[in-house]
Homo-oligomer: A and B are copies of this chain.
């Protein structure tokens, strides 16, 4: 049976990423050695790193004055690296979900944190608007895509202070005007790579402005200066990331991807809206995520939740359980998810409706 992988992360990757990664584990770049056992300073891996960084920049059209780094530790480590490097006294955060809230809390260890707005009281079912950002904040932090709640900030905001974004779960899903951001970071394990590598896009002139001592490995400067090779980088996840970047380029890049993602999401949201059994907890259409599509049973059909889960699972739908903090269902539809898998899920929903 074909398994349709709707996992929220780690999550579906292009078939070429998987195949090329497996091949390299057995024989890397014709060396006769495994990718797992070669020096990261050997010319073959240095070429991988160089190409991955270059393609990352090219595909997001990253302007001069920015550098890209690959590090370990996950997006969760960025929650402290951001204030470590950028907060002198005060930072502003938009609280749009579990991850946004964790980032906000972590920053409190470094100075004053202003929560400019929060959708927590309504279980994060929308993106707050109309807030004010203190003009003396060192930066304003947003989480563009809220993986758990299925909301997304799909445009690049214009704000009055440096903008920092966690794009863990929507990087490379659409074109981004990087010039509007001071820092963009994310765990790569959704749209780019297997778990184990984290990316950061850093406006270099924003660094070096805080007084505190920064441990070497937490200083973006360390990784920028060393081309992400200050210490042993996560070799295998970076190799896989390069395979995804190559696939993305072949697919037409982020503009083409955005078009497909809009189409894919529409198919599923339309069915959720139409189908009498289901509804979307995110009501504002403009806030609905194109990457993580949440849906729940309508109140009259609450008791069918487990039955639908079992039915869909029996048809090969995998990873569709909603996050434990919200329940219901979540279909993650990252770049590598084919339309046919979304159609398969929609077919399940229709068939299940016909039965009830």
Contact = CB atoms under 8 A, between A and B. Distances in A.
Given A39-B319, A80-B218, A217-B80, A18 B5 contact: no
A320 to B, nearest CB: 11
Contact of A72 (B9, B18, B74): B74
Given A8-B39, A25-B25, A34-B18, A76 B216 contact: yes
A226 to B, nearest CB: 11
A232 interface: yes
A338 interface: no
A40 interface: yes
B76 A231 contact: yes
A40 B7 CA distance: 10
Contacts of A5: 33, 37-38
A37 B13 contact: yes
Nearest to A36: B194
28 contacts: A1-B32, A3-B31, A3-B33, A5-B37, A7-B37, A7-B38, A7-B39, A8-B39, A10-B36, A10-B37, A10-B38, A10-B40, A10-B235, A11-B39, A33-B318, A35-B194, A72-B74, A72-B196, A73-B77, A76-B230, A80-B215, A80-B217, A80-B218, A109-B213, A195-B235, A195-B236, A196-B237, A236-B236
Given A195-B235, A230-B76, A232-B189, A10 B25 contact: no
A36 B189 CA distance: 9
Interface in A1-51: 1, 3, 5, 7-13, 17-19, 21-22, 25-26, 31-40, 42
B196 A234 contact: yes
A233 interface: yes
A299 B9 CA distance: 57
A296 interface: no
A100 interface: no
Interface in A193-221: 193-198, 213, 215-218
Contact of A79 (B18, B32, B77, B216): B216
A281 interface: no
Contacts of A215: 79-80, 84, 106, 109
Interface size bracket, A side: 35 or more
A75 B217 CA distance: 10
Interface of A: 1, 3, 5, 7-13, 17-19, 21-22, 25-26, 31-40, 42, 71-77, 79-80, 84, 106, 109, 187, 189, 193-198, 213, 215-218, 230-237, 240, 318-319
A98 to B, nearest CB: 12
Given A75-B231, A237-B196, A21 B25 contact: yes
Given A37-B194, A196-B237, 19 more contacts: A1-B32, A3-B33, A5-B33, A7-B37, A10-B232, A11-B39, A13-B34, A35-B194, A36-B193, A39-B319, A73-B217, A74-B217, A79-B216, A80-B215, A80-B216, A80-B217, A84-B215, A189-B232, A196-B233
A156 B182 CA distance: 48
A21 B36 contact: yes
Contact of A22 (B26, B33, B76, B216): B26
